[in-house]
Chains A and B, each alone.
Chain A
Amino acid sequence: MTTPQAGPSVAPVVQMQDITIDFPGVKALDGVDFRLLPGEVHALMGENGAGKSTLIKALTGVYDIDAGSITVDGAEQRFSGPRQAQDAGISTVYQEVNLCPNLTVAENILLGREPRRFGRIDYRAMNRRAAELLGVLDLTIDPSSTLGDHPIAIQQLVAIARATAISARVLILDEPTSSLDADEVAELFRVMRRLRDGGTAILFVSHFLDQVYEISDRMTVLRNGRLVGEYPTATLDKVKLIAAMLGHELDLLEEIADTVAKSGTHAGEPVLSAKGIGRTPRVHPTDLDVHRGEVVGLAGLLGSGRTELARLLFGADRATSGHMSVNGKQAAIRSPRGAIAKGFAFSSEDRKAEGIIGDLSVRDNLVLALQARRGFARPLSKKTKDDLVRRYMEALDVRPRDPGALVKNLSGGNQQKVLLARWLITEPQLIILDEPTRGIDVGAKAQIQKLVADLATDGMGVVFISAELDEVSRISDRIVVLRDGHCVAQVGADCSVKELTSLIAGGTQP
């Protein structure tokens, strides 16, 4: 954390005053003030539904504002679309990398302001300029390569390169680190600091509080569409920040630690015993045991094989080696249906693509797995369905409490809860949770962690994957550390986050 380069006496590059945006039925923003100074990294904090996304879209012209004013460099602006905002020097890099994977890297960086010669696109100059811009970010990829051939982390940096290509005064980064591992995050932050030192104002939105504290100079906190306050980062500690964002869910986090501490050792036949399970080339043969009532955490960087291993356990992918036994008996699990028949459940990390059925109701989403297991010929009676749905919606506090609502209209946290409920209804003996708290607000995060702890207490076996090591450390009884598809260590709950980090970075050799 560095002290801000400019104090409040410097003129803000962006000033939003008294911004109000109404959507049918909800006030997304209510009289919000916001300002961005040049040469700073400014974090925008708040739960889901607090209005962060809306504020950004208002600034970049995607949404119309119903009241208030936006001033850029002293001149009042009303952007009618992303193009106008870009022309005014405001550039955004969204969470989903909004580039075209079928075009080349250079085209993605420069299209829209590509160099021309005699009316045609000058590809030579374009590739050269792209290489220059990539060089600023210390990236050595081939500008004429297809973007889609590169991993997401690289694509994100290309997106940032595009932003620098238009010499942005303001760079907005919306959840840029969700898919990056620690190395890649460090790289991103290096780039951000360089841009900041060059005078760019950076607006940074992230759920990872540690990252926010590491990189930002000041922060603005929103709650329920209203401004809570604007603070220099150095003056606001984590507890105060969370209090400003939520209020009451703090106690939940403490409860969880107590719950886990109470659960004792686990003996007897493991629910799941995997020996030498692997799938070339991503996962090398690994042993993994999960006992009843035990939470086993999988920790490791992106690409370490966490998700791949989880999918093998569930039969979502076919293993190329090893075998599994369930409750002591040999079991060949070759498909999700097979795993479900054995009492397994799996919540994927990609909620949108592999989890929710957006256009169906909450009710239908909830009973889906149960119904699929029963087969189409044995539909659940209306009464049974309604009972189950009501019970689970209450137990997991799904909001709004409307079983007929379409799942796609729920917030991320509630969607995740619906997914969990879908699996809990099948009363599994083992549940695999891949990043269940990713991209959801702190309040729902706490609720879900508490739920996991309670499930284990009730006797369910849990495999828990999360990129946030403090979560993994808080909840798990045992932690399996993965690196490059190998299991490098298995440690107990007493392992600190610091130790975990070093294990992940380069600990015990396989």
Chain B
Amino acid sequence: MIKRITASPLIWPVLALVALLAVNVVLTPTFLSIRVQDGHLFGSLIDILRNGAPTMLVALGMTLVIASRGIDLSVGAVVAVSGALACAHIAASTDPASPGTVITAMGIAMGAAVALGLWNGMLVSVFGVQPIIATLVLMTAGRGIALFITDGQIVTVTSAPFKVLGAGFAFGLPVAILVSLAVFALVGLLTRRTALGMLLESVGINPEASRLAGVRYRTIVFAVYVFCALCAGIAGLMIASNISAADANNAGLWIEMDAILAVVIGGTSLLGGRFSLTGTILGALIIQTLTTTVYTAGITPETTLVFKALVVIAVCLLQAPKFRALLSRKRRPPTPAAPAANAPAQSLSVPVPPTSAMAAK
């Protein structure tokens, strides 16, 4: 039993998270304390959950895209566009405080997000463009579009119903984290209780073989990009709701990097294939805890990035088998080990479609 736990790839993210929490507790003994105030829970842990909810959500979507051997750099832009559309609609409406307006605004934002996801999906699966470039297009242009919608200004809105998503509480917990966890549960059920997870992994590992086996390759690719964009759209609403404004310049800035990091720390490989949603959640928590740790430790916020870098490097190195072998000073295994049935391990920075290789022995 112990061996199974230590052999699980999730062990490193869990340890990292525990270590970070421990550091926090050492620095601030009251770190783990949760009290009730104003009818809901309060405390550093709650803050971590609330602030990390958008990244967590985006990272969930990103996990599926990466599993399909793709990547989505445009999520930050989608966050900005989503917030911009919602706030623009509410600000321009006659009754900003009515739930109806808010719901329509959210609907518009999510609809736009779906459309952008379809756009990405089309570029990748119909036109065969490499995912990194395809989504780079939207990443570059999208923020410009968001600025265009808000005319370069920060659009503030005064609307109580709108604040619920980002700043509200339900059952004592922040609404944002409830939404993210709900999506996590939903996607988890969808991928593991149905065959979707296996088919997605199959597509990510070998798209052509999956197509020939009758897997709906194109549908799955479309679906993951739409889902990822939808997650980004909802996250954009959370962020805009939290500050009751749309800041097209800064909303979701670098969120794609945090999301990708969360996915990688969680154990999913950038090359596609097997994925772990739980790992992603852990990864997102680690990233958020790290930011909080820096604040609570009283370290100047300027050094946050340095710590972030060090944690990322540490976790990624620990996940690398060669590094672990170096640490335990075992004899380095002969290269390569098994009979030549593996695909050549060409470490690419970006996931690429496979090229036809000759038959294996």
Contacts and interface: CB of A to CB of B under 8 A. Distances in A.
- Are A and B close enough to touch in the complex, i.e. CB under 8 Å? yes
Interface of A: 21, 23-24, 48-49, 53, 62-64, 95-96, 152, 175, 178-179, 314, 316, 336-337, 340, 346, 348-360, 364, 368-369, 371-380, 408-412, 415, 422, 435, 438-440
A349 B195 contact: no
Given A53-B339, A340-B214, A349-B359, 6 more contacts: A178-B359, A354-B212, A357-B210, A358-B205, A360-B273, A374-B195
Nearest to B335: A62
Interface string B219-257: 000000000000000000000000000000000000000
B337 A371 contact: no
Interface string B329-361: 000011101111111000000000011111111
Interface in B199-221: 199, 201-202, 205-206, 208-216
A179 B194 CA distance: 41
A412 B334 CA distance: 21
* For the complex of A and B, 9 pairs with smallest distance between CB atoms: A372-B214, A376-B196, A340-B214, A379-B195, A372-B215, A352-B360, A369-B213, A376-B195, A439-B359
Interface of B: 193-196, 198-199, 201-202, 205-206, 208-216, 273-274, 333-335, 337-343, 354-361
Given A358-B206, A364-B202, A376-B195, A49 B339 contact: yes
Nearest to A21: B334
A432 to B, nearest CB: 11
B357 A352 contact: yes
A371 B359 contact: no
A350 B209 CA distance: 9
A410 B209 contact: no
B334 A179 contact: no
Contact of A379 (B193, B202, B338): B193
A412 B341 contact: yes
Contact of B359 (A24, A350, A357, A376): A350
A409 B199 CA distance: 20
Contacts of B205: 357-360
A409 to B, nearest CB: 5
A24 B337 contact: yes
Contact of B338 (A352, A372, A375, A409): A409
A23 B334 CA distance: 8
| Chain B interface, >50% SS class | loop
Contacts of B339: 48-49, 53, 409, 411
A185 B216 CA distance: 40
Contacts, number: 144
Contacts of A350: 356-359
Contacts of A62: 335
B361 A439 contact: yes
B209 A53 contact: no
A410 B338 CA distance: 9
B199 A376 contact: yes
A438 B360 CA distance: 9
Given A340-B214, A359-B273, A364 B356 contact: no
A438 B202 contact: no
B341 A408 contact: yes
B361 A175 contact: yes
Contacts of A63: 334-335
A412 B216 contact: no
A260 B186 CA distance: 54
Contacts of A351: 359-360
Given A62-B335, A364-B198, A372 B216 contact: yes
Nearest to B215: A372
Nearest to B220: A376
A336 B212 contact: yes
Nearest to A439: B359
Most chain B beta-carbon neighbours within 10 Å: one of A353, A374, A376: A376
A335 B360 CA distance: 26
B213 A368 contact: yes
Contacts of B196: 376
B341 A179 contact: no
A180 B333 CA distance: 35
A372 B273 CA distance: 17
A12 B161 CA distance: 88
B195 A371 contact: yes
